[in-house]
Chain A
Amino acid sequence: MAKKKSPILKIFILFILIETALVFVSNGFNKELQVGFDEGKFVFRNIQSHYDLQDRITEEFQIDEHYRQTGETPVIYGSNKTYEFFKNIFGKVSAIGTFQLLRMLLIVDIMLLFLAFLIKKKLLKRPSQPQILFEMIYSTLEQFVIETLGKDKVNFTPYIVTLFLFIWVSNMVGMIPIPGFMEPTRNLNVPLGLGVFVVAIVHITAFKVKGAWGHLQNYLNPVKNPLFLLDIIGELSKVVSISFRLFGNVLGGAIIILVVSSLVSYVVFPVGLNLFFGMFVGTIQAFVFTMLALTYIGVEISE
């Protein structure tokens, strides 16, 4: 037992080796490496990078603003036809940001679908390591659902597991060193959509359990609930609090990674920052989002 390395240690060592190799392959500190697809071909080259911090931050976080200021044509990693399609729909200004966000969402969805098919294909009695991981996630979250909502509401488990896996993979996908990759949760629209969906599901469940008038009289009847206005504002602030927490954590982590690696770029390459902000904070925030959604549903049902 003591001799065998745990899978987490293996992943850790692999991660550090890959990042170190990338630093040395990228030939010092004033150039960076690009791996990606350009015009249908696989590209692997050094590019000269510019170390003006303000420009880097604008390029990384406000990409539409960057292309409006510089007047360059946007660099698209992917299909040109799809980008033209988006440009026709959304107009010239916000095309590249929307294109990047939707492409990242699509990549995360394809990764999840691929994982699901891969694991479903070889379900074994003696499970393999990925199967153990996903069974562990599923059974842990199922246990939480049973503890919070009760045994008869166990059919909420697929929704909760989907929410957790989607946010988890979204927070981790920014660590892959391919240009154009970013966390989809870094854009406010994605957490806001998830939060609106959570609150909508809370109220649909309450309608089903308590009936239409039984639920609405909490918000409309001043005799039963004298503070009904505060409750309405509270429902709106649920959406804001649950979505801004995820968004602020991911965006703050990304900015700290960018600023610190730009400041120390002549001496070291900060490997541990991606581990902390990508893996640790990403996992914790995905877990917290899921737990809060579960708690909101539980509070509405139990009354």
Chain B
Amino acid sequence: MDNITLAQGIVKAAALLGAGMCMGMGALGPGIGEGFVAGKACEGIARSPENASLITRTMLVGQAVSESTGIYSLVIALLLIFST
């Protein structure tokens, strides 16, 4: 890490910048989606409290599925950081 040329430094800086932008933009969608799912689940539980366990289970599975795009961006950010 001590002796690198200018071109290698530019590539490293661009990769780190890209990793930050990738995480920041990739976290937008899952955040909105999971909050929407949680709000709808709250409405459902308030309407029918006897189905609370079923609604919570479905909510968790749905949130974990809608989280996957965020996880993909995390994987790409890690690749950008560690493989350049």
Q: Which residues of A contact B (CB under 8 A)?
A: 54, 57, 61-62, 241, 244-245, 247-249, 251-252, 255, 284-285, 287-288, 291-292
A257 to chain B, nearest CB (A): 14
Question: B residues touching A (Cβ–Cβ < 8 Å)?
Answer: 1, 60-61, 64-65, 67-68, 71-72, 74-75, 78, 82
CA of A61 to CA of B83, assembled, Å: 12
Closest Cβ–Cβ distance, residue B68 to chain A (whole Å): 5
Determine whether the beta carbon of A249 is less than 8 Å from that of B71.
Answer: yes
* A288 neighbours in B (Cβ, 8 Å): 60-61, 64-65
Besides A241-B68, A245-B65, A252-B74, 17 new A-B residue pairs in contact (Cβ under 8 A), listed by A number: A54-B1, A62-B82, A244-B71, A244-B72, A244-B75, A245-B64, A247-B75, A248-B74, A251-B78, A252-B78, A287-B60, A287-B61, A288-B60, A288-B61, A288-B64, A288-B65, A292-B65
- Are A284's CB and B64's CB within 8 A? yes
- How far does the alpha carbon of A245 sit from the alpha carbon of B67 in the complex, in Å? 8
- With A and B bound together, what is the CA distance between A50 and B71 in angstroms? 30
Chain B residues near A247 (CB, 8 Å)? Answer: 75
Chain A residue contacts of B68, Cβ below 8 A: 241, 244-245, 248
Can you list 18 pairs linking A and B with CB atoms under 8 Å apart?
Answer: A54-B1, A62-B82, A241-B68, A244-B71, A245-B64, A245-B65, A248-B68, A248-B72, A248-B74, A252-B71, A252-B74, A255-B78, A284-B60, A285-B64, A287-B61, A288-B60, A288-B61, A288-B65
Q: Which residues of B contact A284 (CB under 8 A)?
A: 60, 64
- Smallest distance from the beta carbon of B8 to chain A beta carbons, Å? 16
* Cα of A95 to Cα of B64 in the assembled complex, Å: 34
Q: Chain A at the B interface: mostly helix, strand, loop or mixed?
A: helix
The 8 closest A-B pairs by CB, nearest first: A248-B71, A288-B64, A245-B68, A248-B75, A252-B74, A291-B61, A248-B74, A245-B71
Give min CB distance, B12 to chain A, whole Å. Answer: 12
Q: With A245-B68, A284-B60, A288-B65 in contact, do A61 and B74 touch (Cβ < 8 Å)? A: no
Residues of the B chain whose Cβ atoms lie less than 8 Å from the Cβ of A245: 64-65, 67-68, 71
Q: How far is the CA of A284 from the CA of B78 in the complex (A)?
A: 22
For the complex, give the distance between the alpha carbons of A62 and B83 in Å. 10
* Whole-angstrom CA separation of A55 from B60 in the bound complex: 36
> A residues within 8 A CB of B74?
248, 252
Residue of A nearest to B1 (CB): A54
Choose among B64, B72, B78 the residue with the greatest number of A CB atoms under 10 Å from its CB: B64
Please report the C-alpha to C-alpha distance between residue A285 and residue B1 in the assembled complex, in whole angstroms.
Answer: 37
> Whole-angstrom distance between the alpha carbons of A266 and B61 in the complex?
38
- What residue in chain B is nearest A252 (Cβ atoms)? B74
Considering the complex, give the chain B residue whose CB is closest to the CB of A290. B61
CB distance from B17 to the nearest CB of A (A): 18
- Tell me the bound Cα distance from A62 to B71 in angstroms: 20
- Min C-beta distance of B29 to chain A, whole Å: 15
Q: How far is the CB of A286 from chain B (nearest CB, A)?
A: 11
Residues of A with C-beta under 8 A to B1: 54
In the assembled complex, the CB of B59 is this many whole angstroms from the nearest CB of chain A, namely: 11
Q: Determine the distance from Cα of A285 to Cα of B82 in the docked complex, in whole angstroms.
A: 25
B55 to chain A, nearest CB (A): 15
